[in-house]
Amino acid sequence: MEQLRIPGPTPCPNEVLQAMSRQMINHRGPQFGQILGDITAKLKQLFQTKADVFLLTGSGTGGLEAAIVNTLSPGDKVLSVSIGVFGERFGAIAEQFGAEVVPLRFEWGKAADADAVRQALKAEPKVKAVLVTHNETSTGVTNNLEAISSVVKEFDKLLLVDAISSLGSINLPVDDWHCDVVVTASQKGWMVPPGLAMVSVSQEAWQAHTKAKMPRFYWDFTKAKSYLEKGETPWTPAISVVFAFQVALDMMLKEGLPNIVARHARVGKAARNGIKSLGLSLFAEESHTSNTVTAVAASNGLDPKKMNKILREEHQVILSGGQQKLDGKIFRIGHLGWVTENDIKEVITKIKVVLPQAGFRSSR
């Protein structure tokens, strides 16, 4: 069987796939209402929140757009903390909708520095919201969101979080860390096909929402809330993915969130140790490596594109390359969702075989 080890879409367990072959149901009927209620309650447990949580049909980027357009007005200043491709995207969405974006960029491979966020907020008192990526999938770095959040809340700003590749895999207690809008997506750690974005909305975010003037229709949280109260979504949902999601959430709760987080920590460590044992180095700074994606620097003559091609064609292992300026410079192993240490050890074994064929010369 193919080993799909990209940072999403991730493999889905058979029970999850089978749930998708069910016949359609009326999305305005009681059966769907019961499923939506059940999913929403379970999501709140995994988001560790008492706030509203909405299931939106769309990809993660749709969820990021929802976070922006529901809380901000054109001309609002936002601080966009960026450590890679997805941090840049979050800021670009805000800019597209007319926000005045103050970028706070860190070198790719490094985490955001909470003290630099403090200095930026001191220098820009008019900032209304701070945009942060919890886990930067493009570089394999996990930000210290707890520390960043405590700075953001020192200044009483709104905190909008891209947790697309972390939530449900890496600990993120949404309420304890005072995150106002948190976004994730089904195809990541949730073991479900693409098609759903999930967002939490705090009381402070609702207050901002009442004043937010950015244009919105499909993503309007007011509509999402009023429909959820009647057990519906405003628009036709991706029903098959919703069926799959219900099954996956049951599996997740059976395993238990602390166990899931611990498993990802073990798997992440296995990936990092395995990579180092091959004489390769991590792209991410050691103190902030991600437990859901490992980015590996191409060194010693390694052509990562060639390596990924051989792995795909001859070993049925699918890895990711680098994005944008990291194209050809790194490769990435996704290890989130339905994954064990053994899966990753197997991947490492195959990489070891392929490395010399892809130009790598061991310096040992």
Ligand X SMILES: Cc1ncc(COP(=O)(O)O)c(C=O)c1O
- Does residue 323 belong to the site contacting ligand X (CB under 6 A)? no
Q: DSSP string of 92-135?
A: HHHHHTT-EEEEEE--TTSPPPHHHHHHHHHH-TTEEEEEEESE
Tell me how far, at minimum, the Cβ of 261 lies from ligand X, in Å. 18
The partner residues of 129 in beta bridges, in order of sequence, read 78, 158
Question: Cβ distance 305 to 328 under 8 Å?
Answer: yes
**Range in contact with ligand X (rule: CB under 6 A) among 54-62, 97-105, 123-131, 311-319:** 54-62
Q: Which is nearer to ligand X, 70 or 138 (CB)?
A: 138
Question: Cβ distance 257 to 173 under 8 Å?
Answer: no
- Token readout for 83 is 């450590």
Q: Which is nearer to ligand X, 133 or 291 (CB)?
A: 133
Q: How many CB atoms lie within 10 A of CB 238?
A: 22
Tell me how far, at minimum, the Cβ of 84 lies from ligand X, in Å. 8
Tell me how far, at minimum, the Cβ of 135 lies from ligand X, in Å. 6
Tell me how far, at minimum, the Cβ of 164 lies from ligand X, in Å. 4
Tell me how far, at minimum, the Cβ of 63 lies from ligand X, in Å. 8
User: What's the burial of 259, exposed, middle or buried (CB within 10 Å: 0-12/13-18/19+)?
Assistant: exposed
Tell me how far, at minimum, the Cβ of 139 lies from ligand X, in Å. 10
**Range in contact with ligand X (rule: CB under 6 A) among 161-169, 247-255, 283-291, 344-352:** 161-169
- In the set 162, 181, 231, 245, which binds ligand X (CB under 6 A)? 162
Residue 183 amino acid letter: V
- In the set 137, 139, 171, 308, which binds ligand X (CB under 6 A)? 137
CA distances from residue 135 to 125, 184, 250, 261, 354 in whole angstroms, order as listed: 26, 11, 24, 14, 29
Question: Cβ distance 225 to 205 under 8 Å?
Answer: no
**Range in contact with ligand X (rule: CB under 6 A) among 67-75, 120-128, 132-140, 150-158:** 132-140
- Token readout for 272 is 């990092």
- Token readout for 338 is 């339905």
Tell me how far, at minimum, the Cβ of 87 lies from ligand X, in Å. 8
Per-residue contact flags (x/-) with ligand X for residues 170 to 209, judged by CB under 6 A: ---------------x------------------------
Q: How far apart are CA 278 and CA 267, in angstroms?
A: 17
Tell me how far, at minimum, the Cβ of 185 lies from ligand X, in Å. 4
- In the set 40, 61, 150, 240, which binds ligand X (CB under 6 A)? 61
CA angle 4, 342, 297 (to 5 degrees): 60
Per-residue contact flags (x/-) with ligand X for residues 71 to 100, judged by CB under 6 A: ---------------x--------------
- In the set 94, 161, 164, 198, which binds ligand X (CB under 6 A)? 164
- In the set 133, 142, 200, 202, which binds ligand X (CB under 6 A)? 133
Q: Which is nearer to ligand X, 66 or 354 (CB)?
A: 66
Residue 293 amino acid letter: V
Q: How far apart are CA 209 and CA 73, in angstroms?
A: 9
Nearest to 237 by CA among 45, 39, 90: 39
Give the interface with ligand X as residue ranges (CB under 6 A): 8, 59-61, 86, 133, 135, 137, 162, 164-165, 185
